[in-house]
Chain A
């Protein structure tokens, strides 16, 4: 072990003494910064991941849409299915309806799905909390959980559905009765806005409600594992141009790029702001080491007199900063992951104490606080924390290197 590293270790963790106060404060500073970064970036990453999961789980990897509706379904579907990388495809039609139960109205988005194909593209079955998708036919409906609660509907309830087409006919003085559909399923995706505003019927029922005939609004597509949605979308567009020039395939990333950009921007901003905690901790390391240089001026002179080279004397202070950085980062990682592990208990206790449980779910739209830390983010935090802490030793090291041994020995 080089003597500069040995001495740095001994100065931070001296023989026969308790953990020195200055070392403890410096390590704690870095630790808190790293822990906070890990927790914040993980939660932001968790939100981002949940949002991405939700987009893919409700839209598929790629969606094909036309400006209006597509009528040549078989041709378009054949073109899509013949494209390399496409694992499954399911047509859909969508629109807003008015829904009423026991005089309680709601205006959810209605999605018409192909019951035989949908589960190959979207894991809809896994979101059904009550009832079953198997019972969905042209006279039934599946409601999202919050919506069902808000209108007081449950399995077996009959809800009335008014489509815009129906309303148009009423305006033309035609007597039109709403469609009465029986609730056969309650689903919960875990996202507050979707769980409050989505209902599902069969594709045939939706086509009838919107007067689409045999037409559909688009297709949800699932890709083979590992396929790049953007590349497959490009290939799809080339093929679709032949059969449906108005149809356009977009990957889920492309279709939601503005939203995903905002999510990423938020995460980057939080990272940028929180990294300053580590910078402040690094200043504390610098000031502590500068004090050490002044306090140990004669020792620095002695090291020179004993044959220590200037660069090794400087290195001794850089080692100290590096050791503080590595220790603080390691402890910060441990603390950060511990907090993340108990995050839902912590949030539950906090919201219970402040009575803000409902507000939290409503505001953040997730039942549990999601967390995900990518490998890249982890190493970025660790690398930056260690690098910034180590840089904190440069100024003290430079001051120590500038001391002439003879002047240092003469100092009072």
Chain B
């Protein structure tokens, strides 16, 4: 549930891409505030700029104009991003050479925090997402739903304050997709993590605390 403290404030975000001789204006002044513990869904048609917005919110891309503030600071370097943010993608992006447990632990390794406590947390998270018995399996031996559950556990490994999910059910069947969305929302509520969920599935979007719709580069 929202606590009233903003952890992400975006205002007047614009972003355009040059394609040949054309300039595509993808975002045309987006304003969005996310409070701690809140879940916000962003829905819209394909190509409406949802993923571009998510990349800006993650600090992975720079906006042409506008401001972004992550918990009081307009700067987010790689190290801060690893601690402050968790990300879940449509294509899971698990590292194929690592087991499920090592994939989850990779998030902790990358911020230089790896020890017995982190190993225990990784096991707890895998148990929580129902994969305790698959912890030593590599991604190739997991189903799509299982892979996405590992990705969710990985995103929550460093106790981020904000989780950004980009079409997390896009590669899953409807039933598995429903389970993943429920799991994601449940875990975010349990851990007090704010969630920005990008989806074109309106039923999934409706499950968030707040729904916004993206149309023609603007949020409504």
Give A residues with C-beta under 8 Å from B: 3, 6-7, 10-11, 14-17, 298-299, 301-310, 404-406, 409-410
Contact = CB atoms under 8 A, between A and B. Distances in A.
B165 interface: no
B61 A306 contact: no
Contacts of A16: 99, 136-138
A307 B81 contact: yes
Contacts of A410: 51
Contacts of B87: 305-306
A108 B32 CA distance: 103
Given A10-B98, A15-B102, A406-B60, A298 B91 contact: yes
B135 to A, nearest CB: 11
Interface string B178-212: 00000000000000000000000000000000000
A16 B137 CA distance: 8
Contacts of A6: 109
B105 to A, nearest CB: 10
Contacts of A15: 97-99, 102, 136, 138
Contact of A298 (B93, B110, B111): B93
A307 B60 contact: no
16 contacts: A11-B97, A14-B138, A15-B138, A17-B97, A299-B95, A304-B78, A305-B58, A305-B60, A305-B87, A306-B87, A306-B107, A307-B107, A308-B82, A406-B60, A406-B61, A409-B93
Nearest to A20: B97
B28 to A, nearest CB: 19
Nearest to B158: A307
Nearest to B151: A302
Contacts of A308: 78, 82, 110
A409 B55 contact: yes
Given A15-B138, A17-B138, A405 B79 contact: no
Nearest to A408: B60
Contacts, number: 75
B79 A14 contact: no
Given A3-B106, A306-B82, 12 more contacts: A3-B112, A10-B97, A14-B96, A14-B98, A302-B95, A305-B87, A306-B87, A306-B110, A307-B82, A308-B82, A308-B110, A409-B55
A276 to B, nearest CB: 32
B15 to A, nearest CB: 11
Contacts of A301: 93
Given A298-B93, A299-B95, A409 B60 contact: yes
Contacts of A17: 97, 138
A305 B81 contact: yes
B52 to A, nearest CB: 9
Nearest to A298: B93
A306 B136 CA distance: 22
Nearest to A14: B97
A125 B189 CA distance: 94
A17 B97 CA distance: 8
B218 interface: no
B55 A406 contact: yes
A307 B83 contact: yes
- Which of A7, A302, A304 is packed against the most chain B CB atoms within 10 Å? A302
Contacts of A14: 96-98, 138
A370 B109 CA distance: 52
Nearest to A311: B78
B89 interface: yes
Contacts of A3: 106, 109-110, 112
Given A10-B97, A17-B97, A409 B89 contact: yes
B192 to A, nearest CB: 20
Contacts of A309: 78-79
A10 B95 contact: yes
Interface string B49-62: 00100010010110
Interface in B86-141: 87, 89, 91, 93, 95-99, 102, 106-107, 109-112, 136-138
Interface in B62-83: 78-83
- The 4 closest A-B CB pairs, nearest first, are A307-B82, A14-B97, A3-B109, A302-B93
B89 A302 contact: yes
Nearest to A405: B60
B42 to A, nearest CB: 17
Nearest to B137: A16
Contacts of A303: 110
Nearest to B60: A406
Contacts of A405: 60
Contacts of B55: 406, 409
Contact of A307 (B91, B111, B137): B111
B78 A7 contact: no
B81 to A, nearest CB: 5
A309 B61 CA distance: 15
B60 A304 contact: yes
Nearest to A11: B97
A231 B78 CA distance: 64
A188 to B, nearest CB: 61
Interface centre among A7, A303, A309, A409 (most CB of B within 10 A): A409
Contacts of B61: 404, 406
B16 to A, nearest CB: 15
Q: Indicate the member of A3, A307, A310 with the most B CB atoms within 10 Å.
A: A307
Contacts of B110: 3, 303, 306-308
Contacts of A406: 55, 60-61
Nearest to A407: B61
